[in-house]
Amino acid sequence: MKRTLAGFALGAVLMFGANKAVDEAKGLMKNKKFEEAVAVLEPAAKAAPKDAAVKAAMVEALMGNGDTYMYNEKLPPFKKYPAALKSYRRVLEFDKTNQKAKDNVSMIEGIYKSMGRPVPQ
């Protein structure tokens, strides 16, 4: 009985912490602070890797971060493409079926290949 209660209590703490992180990350994302949101979600994702809310928030933050780099016309290609590619690849770690991330990875890799340059890892 004690072990069951201890497990339940630990689960509740992890869930509460994860939900707190998700709420904080959503606030950051509203203000377009995607990198900060990812940083807030990282510990929650490690503590509760199967938590659907954490995974969804992480995907949203990583996509937002990737898009921020990808569509920033002020950044030169050698800065925006590697950063965007890294974010889109991380999206696929959390959601292997995310079509937008797949398409963006393919597009960026294609750009590098068409220039005869190595694709950033």
pLDDT in tens, 26-57: 999 999 999 999 999 999 999 999 999 999 99
Both tokens assigned to 2: 């004690």
Token pair of 23, please?
Answer: 């709420």
Letter for the amino acid at 101?
A
Please report the pLDDT score of residue 18 as a whole number.
Answer: 66
Does some domain include residue 121?
no
The pLDDT, as a whole number, for residue 8 is 40
Spatial CA neighbour of 43 closest among 34, 54, 28: 54
> Which range marks the domain in which residue 61 is found?
2-114
Domain contains 50: yes
CA 1 to chain centre: 38
pLDDT of residue 86: 98
Number of structural domains found in the chain: 1
**Looking at the domain assignment, is residue 120 inside a domain?**
no
Place of tokens 């694709």: 119
* Rounded Cα–Cα distance for residues 10 and 7 (Å): 5
CATH code for the domain in which residue 8 is found: 1.25.40.10
81: Cα separation from own chain's centroid: 16
DSSP state of 76: -
Q: In whole angstroms, what is the distance from residue 49 CA to residue 55 CA?
A: 8
Q: Can you list the residues of the chain whose pLDDT is less than 50?
A: 1-16
In a domain, 40, yes or no: yes
